[in-house]
A and B are shown apart, each in its own frame.
Chain A
Amino acid sequence: MKMTKIYEGAHQWVMFGRDENKPDNIIDSNQYIVRTANKCLLLEPGGTELFAPMMAAVLHHAPVDQITDLFASHQDPDVISSLGLWDQALSNAKLHAPALWEGYIRNFGCESIEYVPIPDNGETIKIESVELQIIPAHYLHSPCNFHVYDPQAKILMCGSVGSAFEAANAPVFVERFDVHVEKMRAYHQRMMPSNQAKRAWIDRVRNLDIDILAPQHGRMFKGDDVKRFLDWFDSLQVGTGV
Chain B
Amino acid sequence: MNSQTKSQFIAVASITSELSAVMVVAKEISLAAANAKAIAFRAGDKAKGFQPITDFINELAKETIELVTNINVYALLLYRLTVNEYRRTAAYNRFEQVAKLAIGARYADSMQEPISHARTMMQDCQRQFKRDVTQLLGQLEAVMHHARAARVIAANSRIEASQAGEYLQSLQAVAESVDKAAHTIHDNVQRCRIALSIYRNS
Contacts and interface: CB of A to CB of B under 8 A. Distances in A.
Interface of A: 51-53, 55-57, 59-65, 84-85, 88-91, 109
Interface string B1-44: 00000000000000000000000000000000000000000000
Interface residues of B, number: 24
B111 A64 contact: yes
Nearest to A62: B107
Contact of A64 (B94, B106, B113): B113
B107 A63 contact: yes
A85 B92 CA distance: 9
Interface string B92-103: 001101111110
B133 interface: no
B47 interface: no
A53 B101 contact: yes
B101 A64 contact: no
Nearest to A64: B110
Given A57-B105, A61-B107, A64-B111, 18 more contacts: A52-B98, A52-B101, A53-B101, A56-B99, A56-B100, A56-B101, A56-B105, A59-B106, A59-B107, A59-B110, A60-B105, A60-B106, A61-B106, A64-B107, A88-B88, A88-B118, A89-B95, A109-B87
B114 to A, nearest CB: 4
A63 B110 CA distance: 6
Contacts of B87: 84, 88, 109
Contact of A88 (B105, B108, B110, B114): B114
Contacts of A61: 106-107
Contacts of B94: 51-52, 85
A65 to B, nearest CB: 6
A18 to B, nearest CB: 15
Nearest to B113: A64
Contact of A56 (B102, B109, B113, B118): B102
B173 interface: no
Contact of A59 (B88, B90, B111): B111
B105 A59 contact: yes
A60 B101 CA distance: 11
A109 B109 CA distance: 25
Nearest to B104: A60
Contacts of B109: 63
A52 B94 CA distance: 6
Contacts of A59: 98, 102, 105-108, 110-111
5 contacts: A57-B105, A59-B106, A60-B107, A64-B110, A89-B118
Contacts of A85: 90-91, 94
A88 B107 CA distance: 18
The residue among A60, A88, A91 with the most chain B CB atoms within 10 A of its own CB is: A88
Contacts of A88: 87-88, 91, 95, 114, 118, 121
A25 B106 CA distance: 31
Most buried by A among B98, B110, B111: B98
When A and B form their complex, which 7 residue pairs have the shortest distance between CB atoms, in order from nearest? A56-B101, A63-B110, A56-B102, A63-B107, A52-B97, A59-B105, A88-B91
A78 B159 CA distance: 71
A53 B121 CA distance: 23
A55 to B, nearest CB: 5
A57 B103 CA distance: 10
A89 B105 contact: no
Contacts of A91: 114, 117
Contacts of A64: 107, 110-111, 113-114
Contacts of A60: 102, 105-107
A56 B104 CA distance: 10
Interface string B104-137: 0111111101100110010000000000000000
Contacts of A65: 110, 113
Nearest to A109: B87
Contact of B91 (A53, A56, A57, A89): A89
A53 B98 CA distance: 6
